[in-house]
Amino acid sequence: MNMGFGLYQEQTLKLVMTPELRQAITILQFSAHDLVSYLQEQATENPVIELQEVSAAIEPPKRLEERPTVEFDWKEFAWNRSTGDYVVNKNESTFNPLDLVRAPSFSLYDYLEAQLNYVKGITAPQRKIALFLIGNLDDKGYLEISLEEAGERLGVSLPEAEEALTIVQRLEPIGVGARNLAECLLLQLEYEGLDDEYTVEVVREYLEDLANNRFSRIADRLKISVEQVQEIADVVRSLNPRPGAAYNRGETRFVTPDVTVERVQGEYVVLVNDASTPRLQINSFYEKMLRETGSQDEARQFIQEKLNAAFWLAKSLEQRRLTLMRVTQAIVELQRDFFDYGVHCLKPMTQKEIAERVNLHESTVSRATSNKYVQTPRGVFELKYFFTSALSMANGESASSESVKRRLKAMIEEEDRKKPHSDQKLAEMLSKEGIEISRRTVAKYREEMMIPSSAKRKRY
């Protein structure tokens, strides 16, 4: 067998993903917020692109002669003043500029520091130690360091640190400065005057049994009735295990709907939200330079390349808008019962069905619905929310998992708490309604809705 090297010509078909195609795919899967950041980045790199920001300025009030004449009902005004109510006139704008002003936010440290100024009899050394302890509270309001370590860092004795901690634990919200969950709950019980002998003992020794509804075991150990343990559990569960969490606001995230579905004369209209996206424009200076014959060839070539990139970007944006509209329209058509009657009428639907309906690839539908939100008359939903798995019914039809979850939750809310339904019982009840479901699926849906098991739901 002879082996050697040689040059041969052959023709093959290969799918090549061009940079323009990559850009179109990237833009399609962007959410409204990410798209704005991407356009700003492109405008920074490409001098030909100009972004016209959407004006959110408040319109100035009209001059007196431009305002329409409004008949004022003085009797209605006097009635509203006397009853303490105020009704907006039908010709009066409901817009209030104060709604755009952000409320002042205080951290847990600021709130506790301000309270120290009103503690009677506190000394300067005590205030210094208390501020150090406040600075070492975690997001839940618990003390992260030991008093021994605090004393070593500040050069104070352990009794002085304990005295300062007592001052901190008397501040609001009650429970801050605790070193563990039991101490946090005991501080709140003492403040509310609910620290009887048995309740304190349960919190100190049997918190794990209480969390798992092992009431009989607690009753046997304390020689009390199960009903008394149930009352203690109700009291303990009414307390706040994370008193400092209310002041840990974190980063506020806003959801900007990419699509809006409105009901107009009995029909649903799909509108792509373009108001939050800056308008793409071509810089007039570079456009004029390209038309001038005296421009250098290198400059003209550079501008032409950037101009082509801007055109491709504009084309990708338009393609994204059309794809998003077509996909949403198909979803609205298939889920018409959901928009008319609610979640219990949500039908099972897959991305493949939408892809076949709009003549697109399934991966394109996945990108078009990824991280996208739609504002509907029934609220704001993620587009992925409408793609649910199917469960068979006795009549041969199918039900969506979301509607089954809603029915499952209703059954649990209506059950007798002294005899809660087991997962098997819930599966049998759903089967009687024509929904074929297994016990394991019921348990899975229950855990997804963060509903405890029947043993933990039981009351005595």
User: How far is residue 93 from each of residues 62, 66, 85, measured CA to CA in Å?
Assistant: 13, 16, 17
Beta strands in 147-239 (DSSP E): none
Residues 6+ away with beta carbon under 8 Å from 275: 54
C-beta of residue 182 within 8 angstroms of C-beta of residue 151: no
pLDDT tens-digit map of 368-412: 888 888 888 888 888 888 887 666 565 555 566 777 888 888 888
pLDDT of residue 100: 44
pLDDT of residue 26: 81
List beta partners, residue 400. Answer: 390
Handedness of CA 82, 86, 91, 92 (dihedral sign): positive
pLDDT of residue 194: 83
pLDDT of residue 68: 46
Instruction: Using alpha carbons, select from 137, 136, 124, 128 the residue that is nearest to residue 155.
Output: 128
pLDDT of residue 57: 42
- Rounded to two decimals, what is the model's pTM? 0.56
pLDDT tens-digit map of 162-189: 898 888 888 888 888 888 888 889 899 8
pLDDT of residue 90: 42
pLDDT band at 335 (very low <50, low <70, confident <90, very high): confident
153: pLDDT strictly greater than 70:
yes
* H or E segment to which residue 380 belongs: strand 379-382
User: How far is residue 169 from each of residues 113, 133, 139, 173, 196, measured CA to CA in Å?
Assistant: 13, 10, 16, 9, 20
Q: Among 227-241, 384-398, 410-424, name the one with the lowest average pLDDT.
A: 384-398
pLDDT of residue 219: 86
Instruction: Using alpha carbons, select from 381, 353, 383, 379 the residue that is nearest to residue 367.
Output: 383
Instruction: Using alpha carbons, select from 123, 235, 135, 134 the residue that is nearest to residue 185.
Output: 235
pLDDT of residue 73: 47
pLDDT tens-digit map of 44-74: 888 878 877 654 444 444 444 444 444 434 4
